[in-house]
Amino acid sequence: MRKPHITLTGITTTGTPHLGNYVGAIKPAILASKDEGQYFYFLADYHALIKTQDAERVHQSTREIAATWLALGLDTDKAVFYRQSDVPQIPELTWFLTCTAAKGLMNRAHAYKDAVQKNLDADQDPDFAVTMGLFSYPILMAADILVFNATHVPVGRDQIQHIEMARDIAQRFNHQYGKHFNIPEAVIGQEGSVLKGLDGRKMSKSYDNTIPLFLTEKKLQKHINKIKTNLLEPGEPKDTKDSALFEIWCAFADADQKTWMADEFANGIAWGQAKKELFALVNTELEEPRVRYMELLETPELIEQKLQEGGEKARVLAAPLLEKLRDAVGIRALG
């Protein structure tokens, strides 16, 4: 019999979910979790500390991201939904892995290398503002994955290197102490799963071009009106290629709606009209979860309770492996 997949992914709690996160990660993850197999989805709040020292932001983001997944209907009986910091086995495993992972491997991590390069370009000390958290980030991420022996890890392209490092780290530990870990695989979203933002570049917090997922209708309309178009007049045919508006449309449309909008473009739909249509389409999909989201944000104790339950499940599932690993490295009762 084929071994069932163990799928795991984490979301760093530094921001407010936007349409790009929804289309590229959250929606497919919630959908996938209805299939057979085991699913672990977690709030990577330890990772957040690497990116920001703004405590309020980490706290607020944790609340918003958790509320988002719950409002969108994640089945927490099926998927284990938890906060990284509620699972002490993760930092413990991080240390075990830190003691076998090669420093030279960490030297090659893109995020760390970019920080060093920025310093060099600015005639700074190469280590300026580089924390050990940033340097060791791939080890924490490997521990997230290996603590549940995940086999499949859905991530964006920017994270592929980290999965490769997790594989490397797992192999090295296995080689040293016996085969404890599966070697995880990255699962990359299909073409079109990366949404364009207001300015036509990839929708990303760092470009400040996002459309937050749960806005009031009025604000959603306002954001959609800000999507960059061109100077073509109503009646002039418009190109769907490279159009952020068309791309966002397609992320929410069914096959007929896609064809319809492509025809409208060819027939010279006015940009204002296209934006009205887009608002209606997006709003229809988000209307119901938006109500649940607002309710959840007003009752954070309900979110907390779900996370407590998920944390307990996660600890129970992680504990036996950590017992084995402690024994394997020589940390065990005397006599």
Q: Judged by CB under 6 A, does residue 153 bind ligand TRP?
A: yes
Q: Which stretch binds ligand TRP (CB under 6 A): 2-10, 113-121, 221-229, 319-327?
A: 2-10
Beta bridge partners of 202: 196
Distance of alpha carbon 209 from alpha carbon 199, whole angstroms: 6
Distance of alpha carbon 47 from alpha carbon 41, whole angstroms: 14
- Token look-up 């929606």 returns 27
Q: Judged by CB under 6 A, does residue 47 bind ligand TRP?
A: yes
Q: Judged by CB under 6 A, does residue 141 bind ligand TRP?
A: yes
CB of 242 to ligand TRP, least distance (A): 26
CB of 263 to ligand TRP, least distance (A): 37
What part of residues 159-178 is at the interface with ligand TRP (CB under 6 A)? Answer: 159
Of 153 and 314, which has the nearer Cβ to ligand TRP? Answer: 153
Q: Rule CB under 6 A: choose which of 10, 15, 24, 197 binds ligand TRP.
A: 10
Q: Judged by CB under 6 A, does residue 85 bind ligand TRP?
A: no
Distance of alpha carbon 158 from alpha carbon 260, whole angstroms: 34
Query: Minimal CB distance to ligand TRP: which residue?
Result: 10
Burial 120-151 (b: 16+ CB within 10 A, else e): eeeeeeeeeebeeebbbbbbbbbbbbbbbbbb
Of 6 and 145, which has the nearer Cβ to ligand TRP? Answer: 145
Total Cβ atoms within 10 A of residue 67? 25
Distance of alpha carbon 39 from alpha carbon 83, whole angstroms: 14
Which runs of E-coded beta strand occur in 71-113?
80-83
Distance of alpha carbon 205 from alpha carbon 17, whole angstroms: 9
CB of 252 to ligand TRP, least distance (A): 23
Q: Judged by CB under 6 A, does residue 33 bind ligand TRP?
A: no
- Token look-up 């998927």 returns 79
Q: Which stretch binds ligand TRP (CB under 6 A): 98-106, 107-115, 140-148, 282-290?
A: 140-148
Of 152 and 223, which has the nearer Cβ to ligand TRP? Answer: 152
What residues line the site for ligand TRP (CB under 6 A)? 8-10, 12, 44, 47, 141, 144-145, 153, 155, 159
